[in-house]
Copies of this chain bind each other. A is one copy, B any other.
């Protein structure tokens, strides 16, 4: 991925070339009310980075191979905060039976358990519930805190991470759901749950990305 952070002027140059390229260095300089000499380092950077190509007697134009990567990179920078769904939470003292009822009522695959201050205590998957259901006779007495994946072993995501980073966490950790959290107290690892990102979120983003 093109990871160079462009300056405001470089972004302006790219915009001009995208709209009106091929265009000469002189024409770009005129549009920006700058001299060619002032612009030369920016044009050199954009050409070296592969954003622009230059051709004698033609001028600068967008590198067609890079056009896809630039657009995809901007899509990759879509944020978790903009895509997160509403989190479905239960108290960590809730029974496994009540958790199963919630799974069906809310039509979700994963529940988040919270402590009495409303902070993330654990995550409960359909498989956790299934394992409990076949191994225990009294699901109404068994609290979810016994069967859940507990903090600090829960993989979370913050609202300012990208959807791409969230997708990687789902794949690499073989999980279906990530609680979107806001840090309340770093030292004690206290997190408020403010959303969820699931493989459904990512599948929907994939369809949106390609289906225009």
Residues of A within 8 A of B (CB): 1, 18, 21-22, 55, 58-59, 61-62, 64-65, 67-73, 75-76, 97, 100, 103-104, 107, 109, 126-127, 129-131, 133-134, 139, 164, 167-168, 170-171, 174, 176, 198-200, 202-207, 209-212
Contacts and interface: CB of A to CB of B under 8 A. Distances in A.
Contact of A1 (B1, B65, B73, B211): B211
Contacts of A212: 1, 69, 72
| Dominant secondary structure of chain A at its interface with chain B | helix
Task: List 10 A-B pairs, minimum CB-CB distance, nearest first.
Answer: A67-B67, A199-B199, A133-B133, A62-B64, A68-B71, A76-B210, A126-B126, A206-B206, A202-B203, A64-B67
Contacts of A22: 22, 55, 58, 61
Contacts of A133: 130, 133-134
A207 B61 contact: no
